[in-house]
Amino acid sequence: MAVLFVCVLSLSSLLFVRGSPLHLPKDNETTPVVIWHGMGDSCCNPLSMGAIKKMLEEQISGVYVVSLMIGKNVVEDTENGFFMDVNEQVAVACQTLARDPKLQRGYNAMGFSQGAQFLRGVAQRCPNPPMKTLVSVGGQHQGVYGLPKCPGESSKICDFIRKALNSGAYSDWVQKHLVQAQYWHDPLNDDLYKNHSLFLADINQERVLNETYKKNLQRLEKFVMVKFLQDSVVDPVDTEWFGFLKTGQAEETETLQESAIYKEDRLGLAAMDAIGKLVFLKTEGDHLQFSRQWFTENLLPFLRL
């Protein structure tokens, strides 16, 4: 299926505001960085992931950066962000990282939008090579309940996604073939969500408790979550800090700390929070809108560890 190429990130400030690179001492080994793009984007778009990769290489002397491509080329990578089973995507990513000799001593990871929860899936399922720090930039860790501004508003793909979700997000066909359905979280149909969500309900431990998932996530040194305060794409925005709508209604939200996931510590997040491993950052602006300066001051320190 041909994809109308859409750019999820608007990074003009990142691309055109340049400053002096931040160089690490020569005797300090640099941790590699793995990045994963969001919906409608690709690994190598020069206006988004290509620009992020280039900036990291400028800002961290000698860093090795992998921008994940799921597919044989950029077109496939973009299409797979809409239509490839997320569990298969995570498996492909795990295989790619495991085969890379430069990552075997560990790496830091940064995911953008849906790429953030996909990388969390990597952390929970594939501890080798070890992920050290996970930076989630606008990730939907409790899923979404709405698609208010699908990237590429005039795209036929966005219309198709809306119709498919409205007609039955938890039908077998939609779950298997539509990425966004696999992190669709309907608070009005909690049992339906838990029983039929192929990806999110599994990695959030909402069916059975997988102690391996919990153990692997707790191996992270830091789990950084970025929320965009004027986000018009992610609904509800609280999901970017692992919060969500309270079960049984679709108006009132709860924080991560108020949720059953935290109170029952299904993922080990409460234990991680208690020892300072969870970091909650916020910034003004719409989805994935930030300046080079904000990125440098707030996110780079976690990628230079």
Catalytic residues: 113, 231, 287
Return the structure tokens found at 192.
């339906």
Q: Which residues of 97-114 are buried (b: 16+ CB within 10 A; e: fewer)?
A: beeeeebeeebbbbbbbb
Assess contact for 57 and 304: CB atoms under 8 A: no
Q: CB burial class (10 A; 0-12, 13-18, 19+) of residue 10?
A: middle
Amino acid at 152: G
Quick one: which of 41, 29, 270, 223 has its CA closest to 122? Answer: 223
Distances (CA, A) of 34 to 101, 205, 206: 13, 25, 28
Assess contact for 175 and 27: CB atoms under 8 A: no
What is the rounded distance in angstroms from the CA atom of residue 35 to the CA atom of residue 57? 13
- Tell me how far the alpha carbon of residue 121 is from its chain's centroid: 9
Q: What is the largest CA-CA distance in the chain?
A: 57
| Strand positions, DSSP E, 60-206 | 65-67, 107-112, 131-137
Determine phi and psi for 25, rounding to 5 degrees: -60, 145
